Amino acid sequence: MTTGVIPGGQPPEPRPTDSQLPDQRHEPVGPGALHVDNRTRSAVITARAAASFEPVGRSVATARSFVRDTLQGWGFGDIVDDAVVLTSELVTNAVVHAGTAADVLCLRSDDGVRIEVSDRYPEREIPLQSSAVNMGSLDREGGRGLQLCAALAGRWGVEYTPTHKNVWFQLDLPERPVGTRTAGPSLPADLLPLADGRVRVAVVQIDRSGSITAWNEDAEELFGYAAEQVTGKPLTDLAAWPHTPGTSTGIAEALQLSRWEGSYGIRGDHGRVIPVYASHLRVRDTGGEPSTVCLLVRDHERAVLQTPLRIPASSSDASSASEGQSTDPFEVFIGSPAPADLDGLLQRTVERARDMLDGDAAFLLLATDDETELEVRASTGLPSARQRFARVPVEAGPGRYGSVRMPAVHEDLTAVPGAVPLLNGTGMRSVVTVPLKVEGRLTGSLGVAAEAPGRYSNEEALRLQFAADRIALAVESARLGELERLRRGSLSFLVEASDLLAGTLDRDQTLALMAQMTVPTLATWCAVYTIADQASEPYLSYVLHEDEELIDGIKSLLSKIPPPDPVPTPGARVWTAPGEAAHQAALRTSMRSLSLGDSPYRVGTTIGPTLATAGAVGGETVVLPLVARNRVIGMLTLGKPTDEHFRQEILELAEDLSRRAALALDNARLYSERTAISQSLQRSLLPPGLPTIKGVEVEVIYRAAGEGNEVGGDFYDLFPIRDGAYGFAIGDVCGTGPEAAAVTGLARHALRLLAREGFGGPAVLERLNSAILDEGARSRFLTLLYGELWPQEDGSAVLKVVCAGHPLPLRLRQDGTVEPAAEPQPLLGVIEDLELYEQTVTLDPGDVLLCVTDGVTERREGTRMLGDDGLADVLTTCTGLTAGAVAARIMRAVERFASDAPSDDMAILAMRVPEVRKD
């Protein structure tokens, strides 16, 4: 860096420009336009300072120091902070992002300071201010220089040449009445401040190290020490109080400030404390050496030095200002207005802390509720995307902070590796950290770091601690407000999640809901492992990523590594296997893709998906157990992309969700198991298959009422009895559900057994009636149509049927006529002594016999019912149709008769004797 300071110098010569490319000065539009002035430098330049900086990262801190020292030397402490912030952004854009050297020129005039930053990257890109300024992502280090100029500077502009870009901004001094800095009204003599007959003002000068270099005669009179007695001694040796009352400002720190006023005590040579009021001014000599000039008077004579309070210009009553009221220390550090959101407040804090100590980086960590861990919440000058929300232990464990509860200064981190885990691998050498405390409780940690060793001492630690004390309460208040909002949002999220999970008993749908609720709300990707029983290994059941194209890659990766251990301990635990496996896979793919060709190395195209998968699972991965009914039934795995971490609040929310999801998943498992058992038992009540009868077409349609039911109170059967003879039955047990199904099983199996024992139709039904009555309270009355079928050689079929309380079978002839094929008889399960008889029916070729249960004939739509007549009308339209077509037409007519779902079981049995073919 090269610098030059020329007090009282003339305005610099205009920069050379290309005749074909005149200077361009952008004039923003909108609200900011009133503050932008593109005039040439017409004010009288009273001093200027110039410096050049190399294109390296440490130049940004050096540029900040250069501007700060220059303006403080000129006595412009009111605008130092804004000038340093703007210079930091513009130099960062030049040396870091543009990669060129930067020239900084400071020009002093009567009404303010103009600062110019030039670089060798003449890109024409100027933000338009027609709308609200968007400062971009808080994690970004660049791209905000011109926007900050528009927000902070009184005037600003940009000049272009073919080889340079020059950004300048003007910071005006606070306006004061001409010829008067401050004034008060005329007062009667008895109201004037009281002072001794001779007011003595001690003038003491303090060097960079805090030692006394000058001590005037009034100082000797006030404190009794001769100049040779105190010269070379630190002023703090004479100070009676270690801190200024009410502000916690150390005297050593006050000596480092550009301007300071306050009270403390000086111990005289007689040993007694002399209260004094002091006014400090930080200056530097022509050689650039800083020192502090202290003006001291007796405390009761403070009116000689004390700066009167400024009354706002908008106040109509000057006497309304409260005496002793001063600027809020919080706003002094943060600026006004302070950011309303926590992230904005923390980002502003680290940026101001970095600038205050001329550091290369700064960071702020917040403590968890139990104060056992610190979580990275804001940083500048560090890879914040990689570090944000990373957690480190406070008291014990690897990677802990050794002295987080006290201020700490590390002159060289290479001597104590790992002392500040956040800075590992960042190139930072020296660091100062201070705690944030509220009412004695640790709430966070603030740190500033530099690339050079030995940059910080205890003085910087005191300054940073003073700043931390200013903002600790505001940060904690904002954090609690954010935490309250997060908890309210978490409650809403959990309520919605519980409703969704309770709305299904399907296992696969429950797995999908679990994943969809976590991605992307809680994590970037998730995987669900399930465990069938205690002896089974975890099985990868579901994978989801917010980018659907990455799902297959993650699923393939997870299937190749052992699943996480099913540990029942509650809470999230870190699982490093996916990230390590992805890294190794990407490394192997890269090595395979390198081959010799026209160039020494050539990367193949197959590496793309592997690298994408590695990036997707390269961040923090956590596993939460799914525990239900004291058993681990699976694991919920959540992941972040490369180098990202989970917030503690997100992990707590995920833990609550995992408990609800585990119970829902276990309920779905139990329901699926019970449904499978029920359906298996129900299928055992149905005939295994229908026999093929030579010369007779048979078709059956069966529909059980109720969700998940395969068998109800209606049943059918068709089975061979002996050679040439077949039995058939269709019945209806009173009621539906499992109780009716139990009687169904009894009836079907009893019919087969009795018929094959040689009993005729009436005997079979009488014995079945006795078996039903033997069931006692579990018995149900039963309507049953039972018959025996004998196909004949002439193409007809002979049937013997018994209709016990069942809807009568209908016979459809070839001419379209429909008639009952049997007479009604008593139903079963009601009376003990039954006298049943069978009737013989002959089906000619082309005839159809239709048997149905009452669920068909009693199909209703309001007050309308299909009935026997309606069924007969539909059957008349089935002439010439096959048995299958007849059954299908009947079922279609029943379904169309009413819009509601059927409330009763339905069974349709159609038998048809085909017509004899004539050759």
State how far the Cα of 170 lies from the Cα of 116, in Å rounded to an integer: 9
In contact, 61 and 450? CB cutoff 8 Å? yes
In contact, 73 and 259? CB cutoff 8 Å? no
Averaged pLDDT score across all residues of the chain: 78
Please, which residues bridge with residue 527 across strands?
A: 543, 637
State how far the Cα of 534 lies from the Cα of 391, in Å rounded to an integer: 34
In contact, 783 and 805? CB cutoff 8 Å? yes
The whole-number pLDDT of residue 591 equals 64
Tens of pLDDT, residue by residue over 217-271, are: 999 999 999 999 999 999 888 887 654 444 445 677 778 777 778 788 898 988 8
In contact, 891 and 899? CB cutoff 8 Å? no
Model confidence at 604, pLDDT cuts 50, 70, 90, reads very low
Residues contacting 337, CB < 8 A, separation 6+? none
Tens of pLDDT, residue by residue over 864-883, are: 888 889 999 999 999 989 99
Give the gyration radius of the chain's Cα atoms: 46
State how far the Cα of 440 lies from the Cα of 147, in Å rounded to an integer: 40
Angle (nearest 5°) at CA 444 between 439 and 450: 130
Model confidence at 594, pLDDT cuts 50, 70, 90, reads low
Taking alpha carbons only, the member of 333, 599, 574 closest to residue 472 is 333
The residue among 197 and 119 whose pLDDT is bigger is 119
Q: Which of 210-224, 440-454, 497-511 has the lowest mean pLDDT?
A: 497-511
pTM to 2 decimal places: 0.45
- Cα–chain center distance at 439: 31
Average pLDDT score over residue span 341-349: 83
Give the Cβ contact number of residue 4 at 10 Å: 11
- Give me 114's structure tokens: 């103009």
Give the Cβ contact number of residue 304 at 10 Å: 15
Q: Which of 54-58, 88-92, 321-325, 788-792 has the lowest mean pLDDT?
A: 321-325
Tens of pLDDT, residue by residue over 670-715, are: 887 777 777 777 677 778 788 889 889 999 998 877 665 555 668 8
- pLDDT over 60 at 17, yes or no: no
State how far the Cα of 775 lies from the Cα of 799, in Å rounded to an integer: 31
Taking alpha carbons only, the member of 774, 789, 681, 680 closest to residue 730 is 789
Q: Which of 107-121, 206-220, 643-657, 772-786 has the highest average model confidence (pLDDT)? A: 206-220
Residues contacting 893, CB < 8 A, separation 6+? 866, 874
In contact, 335 and 351? CB cutoff 8 Å? no
The whole-number pLDDT of residue 301 equals 87
Start-end of H helices in 233-295: 251-254
- Give me 5's structure tokens: 């300071």
The whole-number pLDDT of residue 877 equals 92
Q: Which of 235-244, 341-350, 613-622 has the lowest mean pLDDT?
A: 235-244
Average pLDDT score over residue span 50-67: 85
State how far the Cα of 476 lies from the Cα of 474, in Å rounded to an integer: 5
- Give me 308's structure tokens: 């009167």
State how far the Cα of 298 lies from the Cα of 275, in Å rounded to an integer: 6
Q: Is 569 helix (H, G, I), strand (E, B) or coil?
A: coil
Name the phi and psi angles at 768, rounded to 5: -65, -35
Taking alpha carbons only, the member of 719, 773, 790 closest to residue 751 is 719
The whole-number pLDDT of residue 320 equals 37
First to last CA, the chain: 116
In contact, 432 and 409? CB cutoff 8 Å? yes
In contact, 215 and 231? CB cutoff 8 Å? yes
Q: What is the DSSP letter of 93?
A: I
Model confidence at 144, pLDDT cuts 50, 70, 90, reads low
Q: Which of 173-177, 321-325, 874-878 has the highest average model confidence (pLDDT)? A: 874-878
Q: Which of 207-216, 400-409, 564-573, 787-796 has the lowest mean pLDDT?
A: 400-409
The whole-number pLDDT of residue 696 equals 93
